């Protein structure tokens, strides 16, 4: 089973974290612009009520100038304050065509746009995100972990090494955007 182990931390400055990563010797892997289209499958299934998501991601690398797309199912979160969930992804040859199919079927989509710098440091995959209409965040994934306890231990170690707060957010960017939209309507 493919599990995603991740934490998200709001940060005041991408540049500040980037400098800390450089000092540690982390490697810049890519700079990308991502458009995440979350598919609302209602009335067939209410993914939000089940804490699940179906995402079409269209990603453009600023370094390689390549575009790629994927379709991802995200299962419910299993741990509070951390994003530990089943995740299944498949590459898609044309994300825009898949998006067109979804819209032709009458399903609504919500868009999350972000600029992302991706770093690697040992087993850590680090994402410095500038999310449109939300702010800046550091996401940390740990590859190769086998349990939540091992993940927590690795995260604690890295967060103290990087000297950032443990103000973990378990909400997805989509959840935060929907809260803002729904808050404005009330």
d(CA 131, CA 129): 6
Q: Shortest CA distance to 169 belongs to which of 139, 131, 146, 148? A: 139
Predicted pLDDT of residue 78: 87
| CATH number of the CATH domain containing 107 | 2.40.320.10
How many residues are given for the chain?
186
For residue 31, what are the domain limits?
A: 3-185
pTM of the model: 0.91
Residue ranges in the chain whose pLDDT is less than 50: 186
Predicted pLDDT of residue 128: 98
Predicted pLDDT of residue 185: 55
Contacts of 71 (CB under 8 A, 6+ apart): 54, 55, 56, 57, 89, 90, 92, 98
Predicted pLDDT of residue 79: 82
Asked whether 56 and 63 are in contact (CB, 8 A), the reply is no
pLDDT in tens, 58-83: 999 999 999 999 999 999 988 877 88
Domain count, the chain: 1
- CA–CA–CA angle 85, 12, 135 (5° rounding): 60
Predicted pLDDT of residue 9: 94
pLDDT in tens, 135-160: 999 999 998 888 889 999 999 999 99
CA contacts within 13 A on the Cβ side of 119: 20
Contacts of 47 (CB under 8 A, 6+ apart): 39, 40, 41, 53, 54
């Amino acid at each position: 089973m493919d599990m995603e182990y991740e934490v998200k931390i709001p940060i005041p400055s991408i540049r500040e974290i980037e400098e800390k990563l450089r000092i540690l010797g982390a490697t810049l892997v890519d700079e990308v612009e991502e458009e995440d289209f979350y598919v609302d499958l209602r009335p067939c299934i209410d993914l939000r009520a089940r804490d699940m998501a179906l995402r079409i991601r269209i990603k453009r690398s600023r370094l390689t100038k390549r575009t790629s797309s994927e379709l991802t199912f995200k299962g419910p979160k299993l741990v509070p304050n951390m994003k530990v969930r089943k995740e299944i992804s498949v590459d898609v040859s044309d994300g825009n065509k898949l998006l067109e199919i979804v819209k032709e079927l009458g399903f609504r989509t919500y868009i999350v746009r972000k600029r992302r710098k991706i770093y690697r440091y040992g087993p850590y995959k680090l994402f410095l995100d500038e999310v449109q209409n939300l702010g800046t965040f550091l996401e940390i994934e740990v590859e190769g972990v086998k349990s939540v306890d091992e993940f927590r231990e690795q995260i604690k170690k890295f967060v103290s090494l990087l000297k950032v707060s443990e103000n973990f957010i378990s909400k997805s960017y989509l959840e935060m955007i929907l809260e803002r939209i729904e808050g404005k309507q009330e």
